[in-house]
């Protein structure tokens, strides 16, 4: 029989559980400070992004007080990762990794390749600002990748797409490359993301040294526009 005493006990257990959940949510909403950043290894930073994408995909994104985070990061930012992503409106790194104010740096450029300016941004994010993980985030059905496959010519876009063409040359394909070949477009997106990782490590002595000493990891990932799911190459 369900006595009043049992009811009170149940209420106590339920309220303890909800308190514990609230406490955990508050902790998840706490901004990264230098202490938390220092305590985060490259692998732990990677896990934070993996868990964030899981929450995004499963509809469990955190609901944090962003203005509190604005106030808590006004004096200093201590992000744990930096993402190189495409400008595509469907792949905002903060949303797809379920991160908020002060959590991650994001460098966005059509086709998520790296050049001198992006490398400089990554060196700032890691060596000077302490980020532990560099992620090159490509995505499926990318317009820039398709443009590179088609060798599209348009104003300044022509020279932008030239940054992606070397990845196309590495792929073994027959005939003339075309964005109509969906498999080729995805292969090129994969190759382009992996090549960006290689380029970061070969062209940035700063990041190579950080990677060699285990202070930073550089990884590539692919976002599926249809599912929101991010898969990792490394």
Question: Where do contacts with Zn ion occur on this chain (CB under 5 A)?
Answer: 86, 88, 142, 144
Min dist CB 162 to Zn ion, Å, is 16
Which of 71, 180 has the CB closer to Zn ion? 180
Q: What angle do CA 173, 219, 214 make, to 5 degrees?
A: 140
Sheet holding 104-108, edge to edge: 104-108, 81-85, 133-139, 217-223, 230-232
DSSP for 61-118, written as a single string: -----HHHHHHHHSS----SEEEEE---TT--HHHHTT--TTTEEEEE-TT----HHH
**Distance of closest approach, residue 132 Cβ to Zn ion, in angstroms:** 26
**Complex with Zn ion: residue 104 or 142, whichever CB lies closer:** 142
Identify any residues that bridge with 138 across adjacent strands, giving them in sequence order.
222
Helix/strand/coil for 164: coil
Least Cβ distance, residue 46 to Zn ion (angstroms): 22
Minimum gap (Å) between residue 86 Cβ and Zn ion: 3
CB of 88 or CB of 98, closer to Zn ion: 88
* Minimum CB distance to Zn ion, residue 81 (Å): 20
d(CA 206, CA 124): 10
**Which of 130/147 has CB closer to Zn ion?**
147
Locate 114 and state its tokens: 């790296």
CB of 115 to Zn ion, least distance (A): 16
Helix, strand, coil proportions of the chain in percent (round to 5)? 50, 10, 35
Distance set, CA 213 to CA 35, 114, 146, 183 (Å): 20, 22, 37, 37
Residue closer to Zn ion (CB basis): 144 or 148: 144
Nearer to Zn ion, 144 or 221 (CB): 144
């Amino acid at each position: 029989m369900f006595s009043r005493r049992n009811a009170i006990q149940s209420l106590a257990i339920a309220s303890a559980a909800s308190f514990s959940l609230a406490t955990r949510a508050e902790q998840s909403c706490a901004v990264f400070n230098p202490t938390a950043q220092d305590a985060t290894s490259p692998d732990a930073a990677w896990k934070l992004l993996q868990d964030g994408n899981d929450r995004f995909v499963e509809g469990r994104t955190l609901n944090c007080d962003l203005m509190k985070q604005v106030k808590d990061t006004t004096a200093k930012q201590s992000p744990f990762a930096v993402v190189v992503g495409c400008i595509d409106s469907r792949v905002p790194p903060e949303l797809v990794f379920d991160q908020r104010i002060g959590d991650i740096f994001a460098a966005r450029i059509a086709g998520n390749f790296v050049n001198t300016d992006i490398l400089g941004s990554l060196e700032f994010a890691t060596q000077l600002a302490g980020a532990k993980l560099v992620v090159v985030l490509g995505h499926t059905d990318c317009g820039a990748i398709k443009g590179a496959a088609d060798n599209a010519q348009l104003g300044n876009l022509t020279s932008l797409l030239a940054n992606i063409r070397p990845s196309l040359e590495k792929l073994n394909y027959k005939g003339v490359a075309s964005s109509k070949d969906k498999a080729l477009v995805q292969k090129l997106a994969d190759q382009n993301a992996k090549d960006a990782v290689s380029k970061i490590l070969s062209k940035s002595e700063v990041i190579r040294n950080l990677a060699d000493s285990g202070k930073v990891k550089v990884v590539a990932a692919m976002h599926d526009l249809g599912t929101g799911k991010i898969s990792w190459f490394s």
